[in-house]
Structure 1
């Protein structure tokens, strides 16, 4: 049985508590994952905070950040089939879907790699001759990314890549259901050469892991995709520290089916869009 580890502060570490995940194809356990406790969850946040405010990340130029993001995109592209197969084995999604999705996940990192050195402020016109007014963009701080089980690589990319491009550091909580692909992503992050603590990846349950990382005073933003019940907890947890929050709570796209439509094609579209 495979055993995965947290990725915190640039190191792979065994957890105190573990849980098993099942292969949906046969219903049998195939891997164990660490369930982050309160200490490990705090450690991830502290590592991200130190990487930004005490480590070298704040000294990286936008161009340097972009190069690292591009390198991570290259590694994801190279290992796309492996990432897709892990997601299939852990979640039960079709391999043809997970492999294809893994390949275009790299595009998010490429896009934000190119955007990194285009984040800029403005010089504002003012009617006072002895005053100069301008704006500058600064990192917001530690960003917590929480993603659901059904598209972890894709949805984490939409959170990790823009956060890093803007100079922030990230703590990613993989869903406790089917987290394998994100733990493989941690290996690629390590190979890409990001400074320790810039990207931290762990998994665990709502209590204590979810509570700790969303209520921590050093978290500046929480980006969440998932259900409305969990979102309510996140809003309450972040309110104490006025952390910024973005919530993507899902939805279903309606389809109109007419008498002359291609029924098979319509059904495939509904399945793909669900």
Structure 2
């Protein structure tokens, strides 16, 4: 007997959107000097959500000036305990408005609401609570007896985890006494603008947090502004290189969290059903829009014929569709441009004689959709094994020995994440010691915690966010 899932839609009525949003500068919403706007679309159905202002150079200068004044006159002079109270207040308001924020994030980003509800929002609040606790303990963080804030932090965040990346950036910056000018992604600015309202609700002093919406030009103007002391960027490796070149030769501090091509290694002694769940979570969580996604599956040859059918059977049960349906496992691709990139890179598999499989699933007529895809017969030379697809596409390679597994896992310009599945603790530790990745998960994947540092090596960037290590990037 086959049981059909009845729709379980989350209500959109919990979200109250404005038709137009201005910039958030010096504690107030203010029009952009240019008068330009961009339109934000719902990727699930391509309907218009809102229009947001586009910040130009004059607006960037206004925001940096406000942040500098707030830093020098208020925020850096405030005791850590007082700063912590504001962060605690923000965390509590986020919890109170979590349903609204989860629904808005799904509408803006395209990810399933069960992910925004159960993963994103709890982690957002947890990061503010965690760094609120550090605010009056910086002398005990291991960075000297009297660490000082850097000043004004310019922060540019991506579209895959809009509110969570905001929390990763803003919470440690504020806890350490810095002020912030943040630019959210062009396609997903709405939860950042609601966060600006939360800053007002929390009575955060004007200028401590400034939100500038816009596209690439806005980000370039912010990164290049001489009045900032620190640049923090999460996004593509290509843009990361451009930022590194722009900051080179200045005295600005820089942290970069960039792309990845994470390996998920399944040994022959692994609990295979558990590993199947971990592989599915590793690549299909947030439609594969995850820099640390386990996009390369390395499965030991002796169990590949047993493992892959189980994996495909599990993937066939994933439900693709309306992100606001609580039953949905795979939502929409974030934008038309990203969908085109996923299609283009996956099409190279056909050209290179890679076997391509997707379960039978009906894609909605409107919006940006891509079926979960498994590529087998992949070699290290194939583009799908080398380049970050950033979509729901899994490349499968096999190995015979642990040495071969490590060699293949490390054969990438990236070094952000990896997963290892084995019942032997010694094999786990042996493998983890040799993997060149910033985050290595043992018999799990995509587990995040505000107390644990996150970051990569090589083309995955440098610097760490989260944990005690995340404070260092904002202290002089």
**TM-score, structure 1 normalization:** 0.89
Note if 1:99 corresponds to 2:109.
no
1:155 aligns with 2:165: yes
Where do 1:1-274 residues align within 5 Å? 2-15=19-32, 16-53=35-72, 55-100=73-118, 101-120=120-139, 135-207=145-217, 209-257=218-266, 261-262=272-273, 265=277, 266-272=279-285, 274=293
User: Equivalents in 2 of 1:258, 1:120: separation in Å?
Assistant: 44
Q: 5+ residue gaps in structure 1? A: 123-133
**Rounded Cα–Cα distance in structure 2 between residues aligned with 1:24 and 1:12:** 26
Question: Given that residues 255 and 270 in structure 1 are in contact (C-alpha distance below 8 angstroms), is that contact kept between their aligned partners in structure 2?
Answer: no
Q: CA deviation at 1:264?
A: 5.5
Tell me the secondary structure at the aligned position of residue 102 of structure 2. Answer: helix
Report if the CA contact (8 A) 2:157-2:233 is conserved: yes
Which whole-Å CA distance do the structure 2 matches of 1:214 and 1:29 have between them?
A: 29
Name the CA distance, whole Å, in 2 between partners of 1:267 and 1:205: 33
Conserved in 2, the CA contact under 8 Å of 1:215 and 1:240?
A: no
Contact 1:5 1:33 in 2 (8 A): yes
Report how far residue 257 of structure 1 moved.
Answer: 4.5
Q: How much has 1:137 moved relative to structure 2?
A: 1.3
Mapped partners of 2:71, 2:193: distance in 1: 22
Offset from partner CA, 1:192-234 (integer Å, 9 cap, x none): 1111100001111222x11221111121110110011111221
- Residues 127-168 of structure 1: CA deviation (Å, up to 9, x unaligned): xxxxxxx85211111011111001011111111111111101
Deviations along 1:38-67, whole A, 9 cap, x unmatched? Answer: 1111111111011112x3222211100000
CA deviation after TM superposition for structure 1 residue 177, in Å: 1.2
Deviation of the 1:271 alpha carbon: 1.2
Deviation at 1:9, TM superposition (A): 0.4
Please tell me whether the aligned partners of residues 56 and 221 of structure 2 are also in contact (alpha carbons under 8 angstroms).
no
Which secondary structure state, in structure 1, belongs to the residue aligned with residue 139 of structure 2? coil
How many pairs does the alignment contain? 261
For structure 2, the 5+ residue unaligned runs are 1-17, 294-476
Contact 1:121 1:137 in 2 (8 A): no
Q: Please state which structure has a larger fraction of its residues in helix.
A: 1
CA distance in 1, matches of 2:44, 2:146: 52
Give the aligned CA root-mean-square deviation in angstroms. Answer: 2.0
CA contact (8 A) 2:38 2:214 kept: no
The structure with the largest alpha-carbon Rg is 2
Once residues 249 and 221 of structure 2 are traced to their aligned partners in structure 1, the CA distance between those partners, rounded to angstroms, is 13
Separation (CA, whole Å) in 2 of partners of 1:24 and 1:152: 14
